[in-house]
Amino acid sequence: MDLGKLFFCGFDDFNEEAREVIQKYRPAGVLIYPGVLSKEYLFLDFMNFLSRNGRFIVSSDHEGGQLEVLKYVPSFPGNLAAGKVDPVFTGRYCEMAGRIMNTLGFNMVFAPVLDLLSEKGSAVVDLRSFGSDPEVVASHGMEACMGYFKGGVIPCIKHFPGHGKTADDSHYLLPTVNASFEELWREDLLPFRRIFQSRVKTAVMTAHVKYPAVDDLPATLSKKLITEVLREKLNFKGLVLSDAMEMKAISENFSVEEAVRFFIEAGGNMILLDNFRDLPVYYESLKKLIEDGSIEREKVERSIKIVDEYLSALENRFNSGLIAEVAERAIECTRMRKELLGREVVLLVPSNKNLSPADTTGDDYDLIPEVAKRFFKVRDVIRYDIEAGPDDVDGELIFDFVVNASKNEQVLQAHLSLPSDRTIYFIIRNPFDAKFFPGRSVVITHSTKPISVYKSFQHLLGRCSS
């Protein structure tokens, strides 16, 4: 059995460890966090990697308003504000956001939030709710789901059966909602019911919240809530995800084995992990529980089938990955001395200066040190004036980022005066500069962009595939 399909993993970084985890355990779900999204070169490389490694459900937490992580999607006043106007505006925003996400390579979004706003509720809900009126939340939730679906991403509605009636935050402890099932059915569950009745394609995320009137276990681990209420009473046949299992509501009250066993036995399908580094432990626990009979194989097989249905229905575009592909394929290297690459590095970085009114590349240079530190131990960063060239510098290994040196003899000589046996020249702007460095180690990126610098470092270290 392909057990990796039962996991949805969060990635706050994209590095060799992340590559190895994906290739070894093959999680079907990839949740991309701000740690990757805030560094565009990492995001582009991640999408390029995914495009080469199969089919994935790729999601973000971008809801608009209180929780926004995708800089490419315009900021939105949020659900609480949207709940005060016609639901059509919610649908239009979600369609726009969905189209942008789809273009970038996402095919799911962990939204909309269907939790009701309560006067005594927690800040974990607040602005994420469309309001206190179940009918209003249902109307906006419906428009949001249809908008996302039109935009090309599957909505994942949350947090079933409702997180709004508690003042506690499940990130920190296990909340309790002391409401009767009749009250839950009439209020908190109404938005879920309406969306299921519409048959728009969604996934569902469970709440790490206890509802004693129904079960002593939190919803995420409750067979009564997932199978008897969600599957049977509400007739939902689709994909059920847990909220992140590392949240303290679960992790401080249940062992890994208990959380895995209860969730799968309850009828859940995909275990969401906040941190991809936790996948090996959860994966091995699931494997052990199946082998010793603590989890029914039939339930695992049924969950894998549901995940496969979603994987088949979802489009993997990975359009943004082509940007990393272009950067990677454009790199040229000459006379590279690999033995130098294990040494401390001195970076010679151009000053932040645009060279023409039709030039916005100056800011690109500011990111070179950040990118370099992902791959090398950087001893020093020296900024030099593009019009004067670098001063004399000493170091075990020097990375000299060259900008239009051949246009200025003084600048060219300054670059050439660096120790040739310990300097690697990165020609990041004018490829004709390269001919003035004969017999030296040269990398031609044909671009100033951080993704191109990033790929040039990967190329030096033998980590590029093209």
Instruction: Tell me how far apart the alpha carbons of residues 212 and 235 are, in angstroms, rounded to a whole number.
Output: 23
Neighbours of 325 (CB within 10 A): 19
**CB-CB contact of 150 with 188 (8 Å):** no
Catalytic residue among 215, 243, 274, 278: 243
Instruction: Tell me how far apart the alpha carbons of residues 284 and 90 are, in angstroms, rounded to a whole number.
Output: 42
Neighbours of 184 (CB within 10 A): 20
Pairing of strands 210-211, 215-218: antiparallel
- The backbone torsions φ and ψ at residue 143, rounded to the nearest 5 degrees and listed phi first, read -65, -40
Catalytic (active site) residue 126 = no
Instruction: Tell me how far apart the alpha carbons of residues 125 and 113 are, in angstroms, rounded to a whole number.
Output: 8
Catalytic (active site) residue 446 = no
Please give the C-alpha separations between residue 158 and each of 153, 208, 455, in angstroms, as whole numbers. Answer: 16, 11, 38
Rounded to a whole number of angstroms, the CA Rg of the chain reads 26
- The backbone torsions φ and ψ at residue 436, rounded to the nearest 5 degrees and listed phi first, read -90, 5
Instruction: Tell me how far apart the alpha carbons of residues 439 and 435 are, in angstroms, rounded to a whole number.
Output: 10
> For helices 134-151 and 190-198, what crossing angle results, to 10°?
40
Name the region of 78 (left: φ>0; alpha: ψ -120 to 50; beta: rest): left
DSSP state of 433: G
CA angle, residues 231, 236, 241, in degrees to nearest 5: 85
Sign of the CA dihedral running 399, 404, 406, 408:
negative
- Which of helix, strand or coil describes residue 329? helix
> For helices 134-151 and 87-104, what crossing angle results, to 10°?
30
Of the candidates 91, 159, 76, the residue with the CA atom closest to the CA atom of residue 99: 91
Q: What is the H or E stretch that residue 90 is in? A: helix 87-104
Catalytic residue among 171, 308, 366, 446: 171
Q: Which residues are catalytic?
A: 171, 243
